Homo-oligomer: A and B are copies of this chain.
Amino acid sequence: MKLNLVHQTKLKKSILNDGITPILRIQNEVLKAIYDFMYKEGLTQLMPIILSPLTDPLSHPVCEAQINYLGQKLHLTRSMIFHKQIAIARLEVKGIFIMSPNVRLEMGNLERSNKHLLEFTQLDIELKGGSALEFRSFIERLIIYIFSRVKEFCNEELEKLGIEIRIPQKPFNEYWSWDLTKEYGDNYCTEVSFQEKDPFWITDFEREFYDREDPIRNGKYFNYDLFYPEGFGEALSGGERDYKYDILIRKIKERGQDPKQFEKYLELAKQGILVPSVGGGLGIERLIRFLTKKDHIKDITLFPKVPGNKIRF
């Protein structure tokens, strides 16, 4: 009985003093900073989508996450890319943002990754009619604003975690993916991430069909990823969007995908309803991991879901 009590007290201590409170206080300040920034910029927040017949095909394979509801197959959102494009076309707004939960059931072989969770939250942003440069400038200001707010208002938490926040300067370094591939081979993102001291851009990737391709230099793209330094890896992924029916169809076919998957979306493109836009998604958990310098992304969340592992809550 006494042993049992000691055991219980230990358990209670371990669950209560696991150091998560200062991390989630920093996350809270980050979220506050994001809302303040977005609203100051005049963007309109939309509610997330969880289930839809339509979701991001992604450029890497994941296990299917779908539900059958009264005979209709619904995917869990992998990203809101198509919903963002449709929303931007339908609304009289400058831009939109969504705190969008994404479910990506990574295969068990990502079990040793310290950067992946099965579900995470993406700050998903889309600006009507903007360019890649405009969007990157917007994100640089957002990142500087978030880092500055955490540095100013989370003194106590940063001290507890033994962390100093370094405020990056605008413009962030930019590398061209084709140069990096030549220099470092396929693993160039990780290599450069270890060398840099501040967040930096890599631009022009061949990937999903919705990223805008240069119409006079096919195979080159108006897209970008933001990376954290010190090996923390990818922060944001995005690009200008293709929106014209013929171009979308060609690119879908080039990627060996079936246009039927995107039928309702392509109907809107065919009707000329879609419009030019630019955007990207910033992973909240990866941002918190970078700011709190945690080794594993599971350490910044109360209820971690690591690929390949059993899920407790």
Contacts and interface: CB of A to CB of B under 8 A. Distances in A.
Interface of A: 8, 11-12, 15-16, 18, 20-21, 24-25, 27-28, 31-32, 35, 39, 44-54, 63, 65-67, 69-70, 72, 74, 76, 82-83, 86-87, 89-93, 99, 101, 103, 105, 108, 118-119, 121, 264-265, 268, 271-273, 284-285, 301-303, 305, 308, 310-313
Copies in the complex: 2
A52 B313 contact: yes
A303 B268 CA distance: 14
A313 B15 contact: no
Given A24-B91, A44-B25, A313-B53, A105 B264 contact: no
Contact of A69 (B8, B47, B63): B63
A159 to B, nearest CB: 16
Given A69-B63, A70-B108, A74-B311, A103 B50 contact: yes
Given A47-B285, A91-B21, A121-B48, A8 B310 contact: no
Given A15-B273, A32-B39, A271-B12, A49 B303 contact: yes
A74 to B, nearest CB: 7
A52 B89 CA distance: 34
